[in-house]
Structure 1
Amino acid sequence: MEFYDAGRTAALLPYEALADAIAATLVDAARGLATAPERIHHPLAGGGTLLVMPAADERVAVNKLVSVCPGNPGRGLPLLLGSMTVLDAATGRCLGVLDGPTVTARRTAALSLLAARTLAPRPEGALLVVGAGVQARAHLEAMREGLGTRRVFVFSRTPAHAEALAAHARGLGMEAAAVADPGPALERCDLVVTATGSRTPVLHGPLRRDAFVAAVGAFKADMAEVAPEVVRACRVVVDTVAGCAAEGGDLLLAGLDPARDCTPLAEALGAPRPLEGPVLFKSVGHALFDLAAGRLALGHAAGR
C-alpha cells in the first residue's frame, strides 16, 4: 500500500484533467456505471464534523474520510484533515491512499472549473475570489490553469490573508489585488468564487448580467455565503440535486427547492452555453467527484 502526501496527490490531479474526469464520471453515473450514496455527516466534539464518502464504478472504489474542525486553525492545525483510500473494485486490493484535504480542494476547484467552462457567459473575464483559504487558493489556480484567467481580485475578512493569496496569484503571472470591499470588484468581474466558512452571507451583489458565481464554502443547510436576493436573481445550477436539497444552505435559505428550481450540472453539460447570466453554481460536494479523482490518480493501477 502506497501513501501519497499532499504534494504527490496534487501532482496526480491536474485541474483540467480532473475537470474532464469529473465530466466523464457524471456521464457514467447517469448510465448507472458509477454509484455513490449521499455522504454521512457525523458530529464531533467541539463542533466538528466527520464526513464519510464512498463511491465505486466497475474498476475503482474509493472511500474518503475527512474531518472539518472549526477550532483547528487556532490550534495550529488545518481546518480539514483526512485521507482517501482507492481500491481495485473487483478484488478490494488497495491501490493507494491519497491526502484527503488535497483531493477535496482540487476536485472541488476542478468541479467549479467544469461548471465555468459550461455555464459562464464570459469565461475569459476577470475573477473575484471571496475567501483566502485552501479552497480559495485552489479555485484561483484552477481558473488560471483551465480558463487562462489573467486578472483577479481577492477579498477576505483578514486583509493579510487576502494579500498573501494575491501575492500567490502574482507568482502565477496574474494581475492581482487584495480589496477591502468585494462590492466594487463585482462591477468588473465576470467570474466570482465564494470559498469561506461563513454562516452568513458575504456576497451581496449586485452581480453583472454576464456573471458566473461558484458558491462552494457553505456545506450545511444553515450556512449561506450568498445573500438570498442574489440567489433568487440567478439561474441556479447544482452539483447534485439531492446533496443541495440536504446541504445547500445558500439555496434553502433563499427559499429555493433544488428539485424544482435548479438544474443539475450533469444535464447542463449537454446544453448550449448561456449567452447571459447571472448564473450561480452551487456545490456542496459528492463522493462521485472523489471517485473521479481516484480514477484519474490511480485508476491505471487497477490493471483492467
Structure 2
Amino acid sequence: MYDYLSLSDAVADVLRARLAGVATAPERLSVPVPGGVLLCMPAADDQIAVVKTITVHPGNRERPVIQGEVTVIEAATGRRLGTLDGPTVTARRTAAVSLLAARILAADTAGPLLVIGVGVQARAHVEAFWQGLGVRAITLVGRTQERAEALAASLAEAGVTVQVATDKAAVEQAVQQAAMIVTATTSCEPVLADVVRGDVFVSAVGSFTPEAAELPAALVQRAILYVDDMESAKVEAGDYLRAGVHWERVTPLEAVLDGVPPRPAGPVVFKTVGHALFDLAAARQAFAGSIASS
C-alpha cells in the first residue's frame, strides 16, 4: 500500500516551507472547456518546481473524470526530473491532506469512518485512513450499491476490509455513528444529512466550485471550520460559500500544524479544494533521490 503517512508529513513540511517564505504557488488557473474544466497549477521551493495540468470532466463515463500529468523540474537548472500521473498524484495527495487534518483535528481517530463516494478519491481516503490512523471500521456509501460493492471487493483484494451501507436506514445509522466522515463525490448538492455526532470530523473533498456543496449549510454554520488554503477556498469552496460563512471563522490548516488550541465542542469541518503545494509535496517524496543527489 502507498505510504500515505509519509506523504501527510511531506504536506506538513511544505506548508511550513510556505510559512517560512520558501515554498510558493500562485492561484490555480482555471479554463472552462466543453463538458469540464482545464486546470493548471505551478508551485516551487528552493529545490524543485512542479506544474500540474489536468482536465476534469464530471460527465465522463468511458474515460476517467480526471486526466493529466505533473511535470517535475529541478529548480536551480530547469532540468526535467520526470513526469507523474496527474490523477494518481491528485488522489494520493488529497487523501494525505485529509489524513494530516484528521491527525491534527479529529477528536477520535480510531473511527468508525464513513466515506461517501466510490471513485478514485474515495479509495485513496479509505487506504490513507486505514494505514495512517489504523481505522478498521469503515463504511462506504455510493449512488449505486453495485459500484460501492465493486470498490469494497477491490479494496478487499488489497487487504482492506470495508462495509457497504445498502439502504437509507443503514446510511443514516452510519452517519450518526461515524467519528470521521469523508465526502468524495462530484455532487453539486449535499450528500450528508446533518445528523452527525457532536464530535465528528468531516473532510469535504469532492466539490471545488462556488456553486457545488456536498455538506448541508446547517452543519457548516454550526461547525468549527478549517481549510487547506484560505485564498483558494474563498473563491472555490462552495460548501462554505453557499452556507454564507464569515471567513474570520475559518482557520487554515497550516496555522495549527505545531500546536492545536483546546478543541471547542462541536463538529469540525475541514474543506479542501486542492493546492499546487500539495503536488509539490508529492513530487518531493517521489523524487527524493534525485533531489538528494543534485
TM-score bracket for the superposition, by shorter chain length: over 0.9
Greater CA deviation, 275-284 or 171-180?
Answer: 171-180
The equivalent residue for 2:60 is 72
SS of 1:65's partner is strand
The equivalent residue for 2:215 is 226
SS of 1:34's partner is coil
The equivalent residue for 2:201 is 212
Deviations 1:135-172 (A, max 9, x none): 01110010001001101111111111111222334442
State yes or no: 1:203 paired with 2:189: no
Letter in 2 for 1:62: V
State yes or no: 1:163 paired with 2:149: yes
State yes or no: 1:61 paired with 2:28: no
The equivalent residue for 1:179 is 166
SS of 2:128's partner is helix
| In structure 2, distance between residues paired with 1:175 and 1:93 | 43
| In structure 2, distance between residues paired with 1:234 and 1:210 | 10
Would you say the 8 A contact 1:199–1:223 is kept in 2? yes
State yes or no: 1:153 paired with 2:142: no
Question: TM-score, normalized by length of structure 1?
Answer: 0.91
| In structure 1, distance between residues paired with 2:117 and 2:164 | 13
Shift of 1:191: 0.7
Work out the percentage of aligned pairs sharing the same amino acid. Answer: 48
Would you say the 8 A contact 1:215–1:282 is kept in 2? yes
Shift of 1:173: 4.0
Would you say the 8 A contact 1:59–1:299 is kept in 2? no
Kindly tell me: are residues 175 and 69 of structure 1, through their superposed partners in 2, closer, same or farther at Cα, counting changes over 3 Å? closer
Matches within 5 A, 1:209-288: 209-258=198-247, 260-272=248-260, 274=263, 276-288=265-277
The equivalent residue for 1:137 is 123
Aligned length: 289
- Structure 2 unaligned segments of length 5 or more: list them: none
Shift of 1:175: 4.6
SS of 2:94's partner is helix
Letter in 1 for 2:253: L
Question: TM-score, normalized by length of structure 2?
Answer: 0.94
- Indicate which of 72, 97, 110 corresponds to 1:124: 110
State yes or no: 1:38 paired with 2:27: yes
| In structure 2, distance between residues paired with 1:215 and 1:179 | 22
| In structure 1, distance between residues paired with 2:11 and 2:142 | 29
Shift of 1:233: 1.7
| In structure 2, distance between residues paired with 1:214 and 1:130 | 11
State yes or no: 1:88 paired with 2:74: yes
Kindly tell me: are residues 173 and 53 of structure 1, through their superposed partners in 2, closer, same or farther at Cα, counting changes over 3 Å? closer
| In structure 1, distance between residues paired with 2:19 and 2:217 | 31
Q: What is the alpha-carbon root mean square deviation over aligned residues? A: 1.5
